[in-house]
């Protein structure tokens, strides 16, 4: 059984890589930094909202429990 011959062709660029390349050409460094900082803030806000929702769920579950008879 023979192994398939290796090809020396470069890997195709990903969509993300292509978009970053276009972004680098069209935007100045400061604008790129501002956009990335804004996106980081969005992700952080989403994380905080998720944490807040989970805490709300736990508090509501704790408040709705009936005391156990001893």
State the average pLDDT over residues 4-17: 72
3-state DSSP of the chain: CCCCCCCCCCCCCCHHHHHHHHHHHHCCHHHHHHHHHHHHHHHHHHHHHHHHHHHHHHHHHHHHCCCCCC
Whole-structure pTM over 0.75, yes or no? no
23-41: pLDDT as tens digits? 788 777 788 889 899 999 9
- What's the pLDDT tens digit per position in 51-65? 999 999 999 999 998
Determine the pLDDT at residue 23.
78
């Amino acid at each position: 059984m023979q192994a398939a011959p290796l090809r020396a062709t470069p890997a195709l660029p990903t969509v993300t890589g292509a978009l970053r390349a276009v972004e680098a050409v069209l935007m100045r460094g400061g604008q790129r930094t501002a956009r990335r900082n804004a996106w980081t803030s969005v992700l952080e806000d989403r994380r905080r909202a998720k944490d807040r929702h989970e805490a709300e769920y736990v508090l509501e579950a704790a408040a709705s429990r009936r005391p156990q008879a001893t």
